[in-house]
Amino acid sequence: MSTDPVALVASNWRQLPPPARHVRVGLSGGLDSTVLLHVLVSLRDSLGLTLSAAHVRHGLVPGAEVWGDVCGSLCAALDVPLVVCDIQVERHHPGGLEAAAREARRAALVGLGDEILALAHHRDDQAETVLFRAIRGAGVRGAGAMRAFKAGAGVPGIWRPLLDVPRRDLLAYARAHGLSWIEDPSNADSRFSRNFLRNDILPLVEQRFPGASSGLARMGRLCGEASGLLEELASLDLATLALADSSRLLRAPALLLSSARLRNVLRSLLARAGEAMPDEDRLREIERQFREPGVVAGVQMPVGASAICVYRDCWWLESARIAPGPVALVWAGERSVDWAGGAVTFSVGVGQGIARQALAGQICALRIRAGGERLRLHAGAPSRSLKNLLQEAAIPPWRRASLPMLWVGGELAWVAGVGVAAAFCCPPDEPGVVPEWSGLD
């Protein structure tokens, strides 16, 4: 297969989902991104592209503050608009400074607009990524490495048109066209893990096994295909487990899945939530707890910012950080009130919710539980303890402390997830107010 940068970029472009027209190049000023920008400029007219570029300054390398000027001169010569962004990099990132800089740079670039973001990763980068993730035991999903195109939530996507081009071909292109570029001195520092693989390990592997980088990149593509199949299987299983009209899943059929298949579903859910994959031991421990009979009493298993939750015959993924609700606040008729990481909304209804007449002239307040509350849901029936009603409504134990309750004139009128007290129920054909809390979604 030809590795000519111009031919590959043009072919790759034609395979993008329409309407692909606006492209912003992530421009560091190094060899790779300089070549990518130059190639796209040469194809601008024939492909009908609208081009721009973005340079991110993170301040981690002494002297790097002038790199933006170098990028500016290049873009001016090529008639390409340039945006320069300054970012702060988290110094105590769990993945190290390398990962922190990479994430901050990517977030800055993706957040710039609705253009397709073109990045200059090449075949050697792909091989390095596959090897790095394989060493860490990342599994098929991790070893799948980088995709040529990845659609993003709310943005057109990330495009890597040079993944099949080895760095030597980029270097040859740059020299043939008289390009100049920035040499980042930090790339030579093998104290960083990826630099160590790039500078010290992969060259030795290539000497002993010529074509090893190409083989690693090919393995990454094959693992990507396998990962796609696993995701399709997870989607089929999640559809089977889904509880009608709910974001929750049924536990009983999940228990019938093999261990490997259940862990595949767990990985898919966590990936969709944007969580980093837990290691194999942690995932097996989550599975073990999930299968324990006692888990039906309610459990949260944190994974990053999310938690896998089980209660009775259902399970789901939610935020692990539940914001505490206020102890009490007066409701003055607002359509929405922020409450414990969600919102209590009050919509207009007819013959449903709380009778509007029952609210007239009354002091209304939202409060959390104090203990000992009772509620009568049906006229003529005895009042019942809120504790029992919450259990019957299958409200998870960890949600009960922040549950909003509406008091009207000193009487309990509504409890989120339970319902409206009989004395406040809206009669048929009468105007009413329907309260709902999004914290139980």
The pLDDT tens digits of the residues spanning 171-202 come to: 999 999 999 998 888 788 888 888 899 999 99
| From 87-91, 140-144, 352-356, the region with the lowest mean pLDDT | 87-91
**Total Cβ atoms within 10 A of residue 250:** 16
Q: Is 59 annotated as a binding residue?
A: no
Distances (CA, A) of 197 to 80, 101, 125, 129, 135: 34, 18, 10, 9, 11
Would you state the pLDDT for residue 255?
97
Mean pLDDT lowest among 36-40, 301-305, 431-435: 301-305
Least confident of 124-138, 280-294, 332-346: 124-138
29 marked as binding residue: yes
Q: Where are the domains of the chain?
A: 5-222, 242-319, 328-437
- Res 178: pLDDT: 95
| 61 pLDDT above the threshold of 80 | no
Question: What average pLDDT score do residues 234-250 get?
Answer: 93
Instruction: Look up the CATH number of domain 5-222.
Output: 3.40.50.620
**233 versus 272: which is more confidently predicted?**
233
Q: Report the CATH number of the 242-319 domain.
A: 1.20.59.20
When pLDDT is averaged across residues 282-289 and rounded to a whole number, the result is: 95
What pLDDT is recorded for position 342?
Answer: 87
The answer to whether 237 is annotated as binding is no
**What pLDDT is recorded for position 156?**
64
What phi, psi does 289 have (nearest 5°)? -65, -40
Q: How confident is the model at residue 44 (pLDDT cuts 50, 70, 90)?
A: very high
The predicted pLDDT at position 137 comes to: 79
- What is the predicted pLDDT for the residue at 90? 67
The per-residue pLDDT for 93 is 57
Q: Is 227 annotated as a binding residue?
A: no
Quote the pLDDT of residue 341.
81
Q: Is 32 annotated as a binding residue?
A: yes
